[in-house]
Amino acid sequence: MNFCTLLSLLLGFFSCSLFVNNGLVAVQALHKVYPELQSLENNDTEIKQLYRTGFHFQPHRHWMNDPNGPFYFKGIYHLFYQYNPEGAVWGNIVWAHSVSRDLINWKSLKPALSPSKPFDINGCWSGSATVLPGFKPVILYTGIDSQNRQVQNYAIPANLSDPLLIEWVKPDNNPIVEPGTEVNASAFRDPSTAWLSFNGHWKTIIGSRSEQTGMAYLYRSKDFLNWTKAEQPLHSVPNTGMWECPDFYPVVRFGRFGLDASVTGNWVKHVLKVSLDLTRYEYYTVGKYYPTTDKYVPDNTSADGWNGLRYDYGNFYASKSFYDPMRKRRVLWGWANESDSVQDDVSKGWAGIQAIPRTVWLDPNGKQLLQWPIMELNRLRWKRVMMIHQELVKGQNIEIKGITAAQADVEVIFSFSSLDKAEAFDPSWVDAQAVCSQFGSTAQGGVGPFGLLTLASENLEEFTPVFFRIFKAEQNHVVLMCSDARSSSLKDGLYKPTFAGFVDIDLSSKKLLLRSLIDHSVIESFGGGGKTCITSRVYPTKAVFEDAHLHVFNNGTETITVEYLGAWSMRSACVN
């Protein structure tokens, strides 16, 4: 019996199974729209395996974007996602639905929500789930109505005794929130998971903009059906444009365990995340929520806006977190879009993956979140190779042999004996990505660049380096982390960015940790124990399957020691 069949048995289910611009590209909610490719008549394009992932979540075929409404119910995790059932580009959006017992192996069910009623006839867009007292899940989602307005709807399971919650009902008293006259009806979407206040009132936030001010409008309800807009938004920031997919949740000040959205108190802080349509990155602040006035005030250590903290400094968008009561943790899902061409997506027959779900908690320094792949992922590790106390002198590069380098999990502890050779940091270098592009991974530095060369071809014509470089600033040291896709593929016409972020870390231990999940066309990296995360999508032509290689390298004058490196071949998960 193979693993997927076993999974089906364990889960106990069935078989595995507007804007037309003369045919040119138009943009809606910054999803690029290709009208002629949205609904392919010949729906049986062969699914190309090259670049498909082995252990990331993706549908069997076609287009996927945002994760929607994840929650846990009666032993089963539910994940919904924005999906085009008719093609590999954005369009015809439904809420596809998959279920899992471990967040890694997934079974796909029929779509939970599809456009069918006047209040969502032009699309079932993003939203969230809230599990009401008595274990009653409710979905809040954005419907594009018959007048092309963005309205908020709810949907409930048809049969609560079905743990798979296959059937969902969209009652006729929808929409439950309309934009009204004050809100821009084409910028009003993505309701958050609701939270319950001390006075028994429910609250949710909806992403929007007023002129160029990004808004998280607050709505209140006594019964989850009748919602009233609060006079003041929960939060807003001028000149940040449309806020998509807002997420708002408490985190404990100290400790890793997660909390339900409704928890408040002096022992928690709150996190507000928004997806900025203008930059297509996600920013969050850590702050204080005042439940009586419904104000959220970011701490003065959290920059509010474009210079703020990001969940991920790479390709990660429209994320959504949920509280997992089974393991008492907060889990974060995020969409990693393709960065190849639309023609490539159509010929692959699919587009879009979800990043590996991450546990998130507050850094003990109180200033930022930490993120780490959920522990269930480790069950896919099988063959391990190790390196212990290996010195890397300037220019040294060692191949890590003996694992499937195209589908691997790598953890490294680097150490250095001194920071004396760290180069001077120019205070004008506020853009980490620009600094990384300037220095790259090959030019000699002082302390670094050192790190991993992932998805490398035999003669290094192709490689994606994930690395650190440490600089000396006036008061402290500055750690730069990069995931540089510029040499990732010999193919032209791909988006090959140099993603980068700074790592706010205490270097007194003289150690730096790096973990990279490598999965054919994605590299997800966690620097400094999850302080800075970067996801890159890459499409090598030579470094594929058995021809992919993994190296550890140092191009700085300071000798770097690999104190420990564990690299595992990863088994494939059973995904949809």
Residue with tokens 């085009």: 84
Taking residues 130 to 169 in sequence order and writing x for each that binds ligand DQQ by CB under 6 A, - otherwise, the string is ------------x---------------------------
Least gap, CB of 244 to ligand DQQ (angstroms): 4
> Is the Cβ–Cβ distance between 331 and 67 less than 8 Å?
no
Judged by beta carbon, residue 277 or residue 409, the one nearer ligand DQQ is 277
Q: How far is 334 from 321, CA to CA, in rounded Å?
A: 9
Taking the complex as a whole, the smallest distance from the CB of residue 385 to ligand DQQ amounts, in Å, to: 39
Neighbours of 387 (CB within 10 A): 15
Contact mark string toward ligand DQQ, 6..35, x via CB under 6 A:
-----------------------x-x----
CB distance 374 to 356 below 8 Å:
yes
Active site residue 44: no
Q: Which of 66, 304, 340, 409 is catalytic?
A: 66
106: its two tokens: 């997934």
Of the pair 105, 354, the CB lying nearest ligand DQQ is at: 354
Question: Cα dihedral angle (425, 428, 434, 438), rounded to 10 degrees?
Answer: -50
Q: What distances in angstroms separate CA 403 from CA 44, 246, 381, 569, one per listed residue?
A: 34, 40, 11, 5
Of 33, 89, 93, 139, the residue at the interface with ligand DQQ (CB under 6 A) is 93
Q: Which residues contact 44 (CB under 8 A, 6 or more apart)?
A: none
Q: How far is the CB of 189 from ligand DQQ (least distance, A)?
A: 5
Tell me if residue 239 falls in helix, strand or coil. coil
Is residue 65 at the binding interface for ligand DQQ, with CB under 6 A as the rule? yes
Answer whether 152's CB lies under 8 Å from 176's CB: yes
Give the separation between CA 454 and CA 408, rounded to whole angstroms. 10
Q: Is residue 189 part of the contact set for ligand DQQ (CB under 6 A)?
A: yes
The yes or no reply on residue 318 touching ligand DQQ (CB under 6 A) is: yes
Query: Does 120 interact with ligand DQQ (rule: CB under 6 A)?
Result: no
Helix (H) or strand (E) holding 438: helix 432-439
CB of 190 to ligand DQQ, least distance (A): 5
Q: Does 82 bind ligand DQQ (CB under 6 A)?
A: yes
How wide is the angle at C-alpha 241 spanned by C-alphas 316 and 435, nearest 5°? Answer: 50
CA 132 to the chain's CA centroid: 26
Residues 6 or more apart from 342 whose CB is under 8 A from it?
Answer: 32, 34, 37, 89
Residues 6+ positions from 474 with CB-CB distance below 8 Å:
427
C-beta of 53 vs 126, nearer to ligand DQQ: 126
Is the CB of 357 or the CB of 445 nearer to ligand DQQ?
357
The residues that bridge with 295 in the sheet, in sequence order, are 290
> Which one of residues 120, 145, 190, 324 is an interface residue with ligand DQQ (CB under 6 A)?
190
Residues 464-503, one symbol each (x = binds ligand DQQ by CB under 6 A, - = not), give ----------------------------------------
- The nearer residue to ligand DQQ, 27 or 473, going by C-beta atoms, is 27
- Residue from 8, 92, 98, 126 in contact with ligand DQQ (CB under 6 A): 126
Residue with tokens 């002129």: 211
Q: Toward ligand DQQ, which CB reaches closer, 244 or 338?
A: 244
DSSP element (H, E) containing 502: strand 498-503
Long-range contacts (CB closer than 8 Å, 24 or more residues apart) made by 321-324 = 321/70, 321/247, 321/249, 321/273, 321/360, 322/70, 322/71, 322/72, 322/129, 322/193, 323/249, 323/258, 323/259, 323/260, 323/261, 324/72, 324/77, 324/258
Q: Is 83 in the site for ligand DQQ (CB under 6 A)?
A: no
Nearer to ligand DQQ, 96 or 485 (CB): 96
Name which of residues 213 to 252 contact ligand DQQ (CB under 6 A).
244-245
Q: State the nearest-atom distance from the C-beta of 242 to ligand DQQ, in Å.
A: 8
Q: Which residue has the tokens 């009653």?
A: 136
66 sits near ligand DQQ (criterion: CB under 6 A): yes
Shortest spacing between CB 205 and ligand DQQ, in angstroms: 13
Which CB sits closer to ligand DQQ, 92 or 536?
Answer: 92
Question: Per rule CB under 6 A, is residue 188 in the interface with ligand DQQ?
Answer: no
Can you tell me which of 125, 154, 316, 467 binds ligand DQQ, judged by CB under 6 A?
A: 125
84 binds ligand DQQ (CB under 6 A): no
* Closest to ligand DQQ by CB, 58 or 457: 58
> What is the CA angle 139-142-146, rounded to 5?
125
How many of the chain's residues bind ligand DQQ (CB under 6 A)? 14
Q: Which two tokens stand for residue 48?
A: 């190309």
Catalytic residues: 66
By CB under 6 A, name the binding residues for ligand DQQ.
29, 31, 65-66, 82, 93, 125-126, 142, 189-190, 244-245, 318
